[in-house]
Amino acid sequence: MWKILVVDDNYENRELIAEILRDVAHCDVASNGKEAIDSYNASLQENPYDLILLDIEMPEINGLELLRKIRQSEEAADIPLGEGVAIIMVTAHKKPFLDAFYQGCNDYLIKPIDPQKLIQKIEKKLGKPTK
């Protein structure tokens, strides 16, 4: 099973993604940037996330800021570029991805979520899940 953090301020969206992935991943959910950072930091002590699915449009700390914070903390921990946690941005916007790639996201997904595309994109980064 993959270990994934789903970050979205909308309850229905994050629960839907966790439900879609229930057979292939253990998903934790976070409803804002602070919760996400706390979960991410806590996971580093024991069992780090394989991947983060990150909504862009969120109040207070938005997805792009959160992406930047995670990459900065990896840099501070001397994690080589490209070897940090995989991050896929998820949004209904069609254009902000250039910024996201500059800041170190690995891929993106446009809402409405297509379950097959979602799993394909995760597999592309992580390979097939083990049972």
Partner 1 sequence: MDDDIKQFSYDTLAVSQELHVRPEILTKLLKSFSNTLSQKIAQLDDFMLKNDVIQIRAIMHEVKGTSGNLRLKQVYEAADAMHVSVKAGDPAEKITELFGVFRKEAFLFIDYFKNC
Sheet holding 107-110, edge to edge: 25-30, 2-7, 51-55, 86-91, 107-110
DSSP code at position 58: -
In angstroms, give the least distance from the CB of 31 to partner 1.
13
Cβ proximity to partner 1, 32 vs 91, nearer residue: 91
Tell me the backbone φ, ψ of residue 29, rounded to 5 degrees.
Answer: -125, 150
In angstroms, give the least distance from the CB of 9 to partner 1.
8
In angstroms, give the least distance from the CB of 49 to partner 1.
22
In angstroms, give the least distance from the CB of 130 to partner 1.
20
Tell me, rounded to whole angstroms, the distance of Cα 77 from its chain centroid.
19
Cβ proximity to partner 1, 48 vs 115, nearer residue: 115
Contact residues toward partner 1 (CB under 8 A) are 10-13, 15-16, 19-20, 57, 91-93, 111-113, 115
Q: What is the dihedral of CA 117, 101, 77, 36, to 10 degrees?
A: -50
Cβ proximity to partner 1, 44 vs 92, nearer residue: 92
Cβ proximity to partner 1, 17 vs 52, nearer residue: 17
- List of E strands, the chain: 2-7, 25-30, 51-55, 86-91, 107-110
